Amino acid sequence: MISPVRLALLGCGTVGSEVVRLLHEQSADLAARIGAPLEIAGIAVRRLGRDRGDLPVDEALFTTDALGLVKRDDVDVVVEVVGGIEPARGWLVEALRAGKSVVTANKALLAEDGAALHAAAAEGGADLYYEASVAGAIPLLRPLRDSLHGDRVNRVTGIVNGTTNFILSAMDATGAGFAEALEEATALGYAEADPTADVEGFDAAAKAAILASLAFHTRVTAADVHREGITEVTAADVASARAMGCTIKLLCIAARVPDAAGKETVNVRVHPAMIPRTHPLASVGDAFNAVFVEAEAAGQLMFYGRGAGGAPTASAVLGDVVAVARNRLAGVRAPSESAYADLPVRPMGEALTRYHVSLDVADRPGVLAAVAGVFARHGVSIATVRQGSAGASGAGAGSGEDAELVIVTHTAPDAALAATVGELRGLDIVRSVPSVLRVEGGA
């Protein structure tokens, strides 16, 4: 009789409870695929006695001693779906050093200190799998880690946060403002009680760091990622994007870029951006995720699906569990990730992109020339200018004394645009600068 592969499940919340359910419902298939049954050795949670609905699991398996569970001799594989940096890092380093393979969905930890986990895995000869940490159910990390290993990935552009995509899609569809769309996302259970990590871009920045590290065989941490959230995106921005044939998405962008001396660097950023409605990512609505990968030989690839939620994320977790269990039975471990490139991370000020700038200005002769002069002084070339009456946010809206200028630039360094906007804000002819948005993807 083949001995079971025994799992320590750390966490039994949104994702963990679905892992338990799938392990139960698919136990026969999983055993057939692995060549041995999977068994839950224990489940670590924060509080015992909590109502866990009709979860098909023996209450006696629950413990609050996660580290004790990890250290048990009868545990082969550790599945971590708790989240956060500590104590998760301590548990996983302990498991990996002891030769127990780890499956985790913990993007925050991987983005902050993935190097410590990889080092512990190498030391213990264990596997470290984390497909669920980026874009939930979408098979994305293993294609980057395995299938595209013969190619050279140059750029990854993604919508990797479901909550913000739901909010921006709702704003685009209904004309709602940010607060109203967030309220809807909360009512539907997409946004958490504290939505800060999602709406301020922290969640997407962690995913961007993981994607960039894998795509470019280097180490990028969350601290290396330029991050802006969507809280400043207004209904007026969304309407303006629409008028240009664009929509606004929170994008995660990781790209190889040469520096001035031609040396390769990486630029990794998360921010809202206008993209043309014809772009493959523009039609990604609701809480879906999608990631667009550009590789030298493969060309353009698109990965699409559910990036959040208990069951979709548990699907990715179990896929990893099957892989590490098979490796364990075969007595092998996946080759370690090749972070050989050690590419410098480019400062955001040097990132090149286009901009959509809206200005409320005094409507009198010479103003357009003065504004254009500021852009020219900072080396930012203007592509188009549209003038209308001052927007709803403009100080002189409806007075006939002010006008709204919407300027779209050619590609320019971020620092040059920031200096331009800084100088514009100091001019008495400029009443306000209600919005500055980046424009991506050929609009």
Ligand X SMILES: N[C@@H](CC=O)C(=O)O
Ligand Y SMILES: NC(=O)C1=CN([C@@H]2O[C@H](COP(=O)(O)OP(=O)(O)OC[C@H]3O[C@@H](n4cnc5c(N)ncnc54)[C@H](OP(=O)(O)O)[C@@H]3O)[C@@H](O)[C@H]2O)C=CC1
Residues that are catalytic = 207
Tell me which residues touch ligand X (CB under 6 A): 161-163, 198, 203, 307-308
Instruction: Give a three-class secondary structure readout of 314-382.
Output: HHHHHHHHHHHHHHHHHCCCCCCCCCCCCCCECCHHHCEEEEEEEEEEECCCCHHHHHHHHHHHCCCCE
Between residues 16 and 307, which has the closer beta carbon with respect to ligand X?
Answer: 307
Residue 241 touches which member of ligand X, ligand Y, none, C-beta under 5-8 Å by kind: none
C-alpha–C-alpha distance, residues 239 and 27, integer Å: 50
The sign of the torsion formed by the CA atoms of 297, 299, 304, 308 equals positive
16 known ligand binder? yes
13 known ligand binder? yes
Window contacting ligand Y (CB under 6 A); options: 14-22, 28-36, 346-354, 384-392: 14-22
For residues 87 to 116, the per-residue mask of contacts with ligand Y, x marking binding by CB under 6 A and - elsewhere, is x-----------------xxx---------
At position 284, the amino acid (one-letter code) is V
For 58, 180, 212, the CA distances from 202, given in Å and listed in that order, are 36, 21, 15
Residue 366 touches which member of ligand Y, ligand X, none, C-beta under 5-8 Å by kind: none
Quick one: which of 42, 136, 229, 391 contacts ligand Y (CB under 6 A)? 136
CB of 237 to ligand X, least distance (A): 21
For 314, 335, 375, the CA distances from 286, given in Å and listed in that order, are 20, 37, 37
For 57, 150, 213, 395, 433, the CA distances from 405, given in Å and listed in that order, are 62, 48, 40, 14, 10
In the chain, the largest separation of any two C-alpha atoms, in whole Å, equals 89
CB of 399 to ligand Y, least distance (A): 48
Classify residue 409 by burial, with Cβ atoms within 10 Å: 0-12, 13-18, 19+: buried
- Tell me which residue of 270, 426, 268, 409 sits closest to 350, measured CA to CA: 268
Q: What DSSP designation does 8 have?
A: E
12 known ligand binder? yes
- For residues 308-327, which are near ligand Y according to CB under 6 A? 308-309, 313
Q: Is 14 in the site for ligand Y (CB under 6 A)?
A: yes
Count of residues binding ligand Y (CB under 6 A)?
24
How many H helices and E strands in the chain? 14, 17
CB of 328 to ligand X, least distance (A): 27
Residue 14 touches which member of ligand Y, ligand X, none, C-beta under 5-8 Å by kind: ligand Y
Between residues 20 and 436, which has the closer beta carbon with respect to ligand Y?
Answer: 20
- For residues 32-51, which are near ligand Y according to CB under 6 A? 44-47, 50
Residue 66 touches which member of ligand X, ligand Y, none, C-beta under 5-8 Å by kind: ligand Y
Strands 288-295 and 153-159: antiparallel
Please say whether the beta carbons of 206 and 110 come within 8 A. yes
Q: Is 67 in the site for ligand Y (CB under 6 A)?
A: no
Residue 161 touches which member of ligand Y, ligand X, none, C-beta under 5-8 Å by kind: ligand X
15 known ligand binder? yes
Q: What DSSP designation does 99 have?
A: T
C-alpha–C-alpha distance, residues 403 and 399, integer Å: 9
Q: Is 132 in the site for ligand Y (CB under 6 A)?
A: yes
Q: Is 159 in the site for ligand Y (CB under 6 A)?
A: no
Between residues 168 and 362, which has the closer beta carbon with respect to ligand Y?
Answer: 168
Residue 44 touches which member of ligand X, ligand Y, none, C-beta under 5-8 Å by kind: ligand Y
Between residues 45 and 140, which has the closer beta carbon with respect to ligand Y?
Answer: 45
Binding residues for NADP(+): 10-17
Which spans of this chain sit near ligand Y (rule: CB under 6 A)?
A: 11-16, 44-47, 50, 66, 81-83, 87, 105-107, 132, 136, 308-309, 313
Binding residues for L-homoserine: 192
